[in-house]
Amino acid sequence: MVRIVLVEDQKSIREYVKKMLHTEPSFDVVGMAENGIDGVELIGRLRPDVAVIDIGMPDIDGITLIKIISQRFPLTKVLVLSSHSNNEYIYKALNAGAMGYLHKEISPEEMKEAVRLVSKGYNHLGGRLMKKVINQTSTLNFVDSTSDVLEYAPPTYKGESQALLQKTRSDLESLEVAEKAYLSTTKEEEIAIFLEEKSRKQIGWREIIILFAFAVSATLGLYLVRQRLRSPLPSLSQSEQISNLTKTEFTGKIKPAKIFKIAAPTPSVVEAIYVKIGDHVESGQTIISLKNLEAQKTVEQLTQQHQLVIQQQQTVMQQQETAQQQVLELKNKIFDLNQRETPLATQMAGAELELELAQSQADKVPLPQRQNSIERAQVIYQRAQSKANRLAQLQRQGAISQELLEQAQADARVAKADLEVAQVAAKTSTDLELAKKEKSRIQRRISLNDVQQKRQVLEEQLKKANLDYQQASDRLKLIQQQSEKLLKQKSPSLKSFVTATNKGVIVELPVTPGDQIFTGNTLIGLAEMEKMKVEVSVNARLVNALHPGQKAVVRIGAGAELKEFQAKVVSINPLPGENMNHNVELEFSNPSHALLVGQAAAVQFSLEDK
């Protein structure tokens, strides 16, 4: 975006030019002034890229206004819009520092093109003014508004070099006229015209021969003209070059010998700017304060990490507490199992055994009506058998009847049977008692086995709980170490200050508060004013007489304010421009810092070497 200020005393012209420039999206008319004093104040406050001014002002002379703007605000380019078209006004305006000169009777397209070129640092003259000026001087080298680049070569030749230059210009103009005569109608165009005229009638051999001869002559003429143009101008001897150099006064504009660029160290946002263009600063002086975006991002990341660590720490502490509580519960269960359930199971098995044995003993006790007691049955059987034996003897003696004997024998058999039944019952009772004891032992083993299995399960759970507790403790320790490390890590500063690396003058300030910048973006252009340089254009036929270290005198100002400085050549561009001029840079000291950037300077080379 090109920022423009209009300084014009006629309101109608101001509004017309503003309306004309507003049709270009890349132009912004930021202010207008109706006189020179207001114009200087407005330019100083807004610092536009281009100042379009009228050379005829009621309060301040236009040439003086141009000088004031060029000296005070070197970054503002001056474009003159005037109703005067005579050479005197044009020369004075350009020498005062104007970058372009336009007549008020111009088209909107030419006006916009002139503003665009001047904003880029190129000189520009209107089409009619260009033709008028170029016939009278060779010190201004322009191209018209249809070209992309405009160059301004300020040197002015005097004395003997003027005649040589005039002769050279005459030769070039004559060659250019000849070339344009041939180039204006090329071979193809002439053939096309001829064919068009003959299109209504038949072309014969005679016409074809004439056409061929014409084409050959045109081609030959064009070739001869080009060969003539390519032939170099007569070279000058070393003494002629030196003589012309010492008698010629070259002009240029002053600029700092060194400009330091201070770049942004990190992506940031400009918070405040403590200087303005043209201010003198000392080394280490604070210029800009920045809000460090990377530091802010780092702080946010550290805060998030710290919060995450705290959450992890709380979670692990809960896990550790849960595992510890589980360990205690399992230990208590195992203790209870060992101290209570195991003896109780043993006691219960013994009690059951004693109960069954008691029951068995109770079953053995014979009741009066029971006949299955072994002792009773044994006594009854013996008595019955003894009775039967006695009755048998008595029966053999005939003392008793056979019937009594048989009855006694029957009773003996019954008693024997009862004895056998009692013996079987006793054996069965003994076997039952043994079976009950075995059952009791088995039940006891089963009870103890259940308790053992339960103990093993609890011990496995306790082992796992101890492992969980240990892992939680280890994780908690690591998290605490990480938390301590984060706390010890120093947070970067959110605000940083840019300071001047050298003593100098602010000549570039491309940022404003609130701008977001990235690493490497230029923040400040700082010019070192102890050394200044001026660049002049020297014709290719004279440049061979110069060499690095060549001494020269730089004159700035006029009359009583004239100042002279001793300078020396520091560089010579080996490649000439389109106008066959070489750029030569000279450097000189500025101990009092009295010079301003953009001031016009006259340079005259010396015969001394170094």
pLDDT tens readout for residues 43-82:
999 999 999 998 877 777 888 889 989 888 989 999 998 8
Residue among 529, 470, 536 nearest 504 (CA): 529
Percent share of the chain, pLDDT over 90 = 9
pLDDT of amino acid 357? 58
Higher pLDDT, 368 or 287: 287
Domain with residues 1-152, CATH architecture: 3-Layer(aba) Sandwich (3.40)
pLDDT above 80 for 610: no
Higher pLDDT, 3 or 483: 3
pLDDT of amino acid 37? 86
pLDDT of amino acid 29? 92
Higher pLDDT, 80 or 305: 80
Residue among 157, 116, 118 nearest 136 (CA): 157
The mean-pLDDT minimum among 124-128, 285-289, 290-294, 492-496 falls in 124-128
What average pLDDT does the segment 225-250 reach?
A: 70
Residue among 365, 370, 357 nearest 421 (CA): 370
pLDDT tens profile 435-482: 777 776 766 676 667 777 887 888 888 888 889 888 888 888 888 888
At residue 371 the predicted structure's pLDDT band, cuts being 50, 70 and 90, is very low
User: Each residue of 194-220: b (16+ CB within 10 Å) or e?
Assistant: beeeeeeeeeeeeeeeebeeeeeebee
At residue 160 the predicted structure's pLDDT band, cuts being 50, 70 and 90, is very low
pTM, full prediction = 0.36
- Which of 303-307, 511-515, 557-561 tops mean pLDDT? 511-515
pLDDT of amino acid 507? 81
pLDDT of amino acid 31? 93
d(CA 224, CA 220): 6
How would you write 29-60 as a 3-class SS string?
Answer: EEEEECCHHHHHHHHHHHCCCEEEECCCCCCC
The answer for 559, left when phi > 0, alpha when psi is -120 to 50, beta otherwise, is left
pLDDT of amino acid 584? 92
pLDDT above 80 for 232: no
pLDDT tens profile 166-216: 544 444 344 344 444 433 434 344 444 444 444 444 456 776 888 778 788
What average pLDDT does the segment 375-396 reach?
A: 85
pLDDT of amino acid 174? 44
pLDDT of amino acid 53? 92
pLDDT tens profile 331-360: 888 887 777 666 655 656 666 666 565 555
pLDDT above 70 for 274: yes
Percent share of the chain, pLDDT over 70 = 77
Q: CB-based contacts of 29: which residues, under 8 Å, 6+ apart?
A: 4, 5, 6, 18, 21, 22
pLDDT of amino acid 273? 92
pLDDT of amino acid 429? 75
CA distances from residue 93 to 66, 102, 397 in whole angstroms, order as listed: 7, 11, 193
pLDDT above 70 for 24: yes
pLDDT above 90 for 294: no
pLDDT of amino acid 244? 81
Higher pLDDT, 535 or 579: 535
Q: What is the average pLDDT score of the chain?
A: 77
Higher pLDDT, 138 or 500: 500
d(CA 224, CA 501): 61
User: Each residue of 581-601: b (16+ CB within 10 Å) or e?
Assistant: bbbbbbbbebeeeebbbbbbb
Q: CB-based contacts of 493: which residues, under 8 Å, 6+ apart?
A: 292, 295
Largest CA distance in the chain: 206
pLDDT above 70 for 527: yes
Give me the residue spans of the domains in the chain.
1-152, 158-245, 249-285+500-605, 328-465
At residue 534 the predicted structure's pLDDT band, cuts being 50, 70 and 90, is very high
Read off the tokens for 569: 């050549």
pLDDT of amino acid 585? 92
Contact 26, 1 (CB under 8 A): yes
Q: CB-based contacts of 194: which residues, under 8 Å, 6+ apart?
A: 211, 214
Torsion angles phi and psi, residue 51, rounded to 5? -115, 115
pLDDT of amino acid 79? 92
pLDDT of amino acid 143? 37
d(CA 336, CA 248): 119
For domain 249-285+500-605, the question of CATH label 3.20.20.140 is answered with: no
